[in-house]
Amino acid sequence: MNNPIFLDTNLIVYATNKDSPYHAKASDLMEAIDKERLETCLSLQVLGEFYATATNPKKIEKALTPEEAVLVIEGLLRTDTILKLYPKESTLKLTLDLVKRYQLKSLDFFDAQIVATMLDNGVTTIYTVNEDDFAIFEEIKAVNPFKQPT
């Protein structure tokens, strides 16, 4: 992969949540990935975040059962069309550098950890519906793939 796009958790959640207003667009995106029209990657952290979100009835009205969420994750792990990124030895240090640089607090730590994993693996673009969460990071570009170009 030359310049893969990092997939944020919310895109996978929307693709599996038929009640989401983004479901159709997220499903189309996943189909494009399956047909290798889009080079993508994700991290194990995103898969963990997916599980936590998709099985939480406070986040999703029709939450997945643990078994259903595990099946989705296992499918994503098996596919060859999505590169899996792993933290490196330097990822935690880079995460802490980002946290200090941008004065991040609370759960924003986990966004910094995603960015650090991306950067340690040479990835600089993330697809997310929550582009504001990543806008602070000058090192990467956050793109909402569902927004119409202006």
Give 124-148 pLDDT, tens digit per residue: 999 999 999 999 999 999 999 998 6
- Give the pLDDT of residue 56: 97
Contacts of 72 (CB under 8 A, 6+ apart): 12, 16, 50, 54, 64
Q: Which tokens hold the place of 56?
A: 């939480």
pLDDT category at 57 given cuts 50, 70, 90 is very high
Q: Sign of dihedral through CA atoms 9, 13, 14, 15? A: positive
Q: Which numeric CATH code is attached to 5-143? A: 3.40.50.1010
The share of the chain scoring above pLDDT 70, in percent, equals: 97
Is the CB of residue 81 less than 8 Å from the CB of residue 38?
no
pTM of the model: 0.93
Give 69-88 pLDDT, tens digit per residue: 999 999 999 999 999 999 99
- Give the pLDDT of residue 2: 74
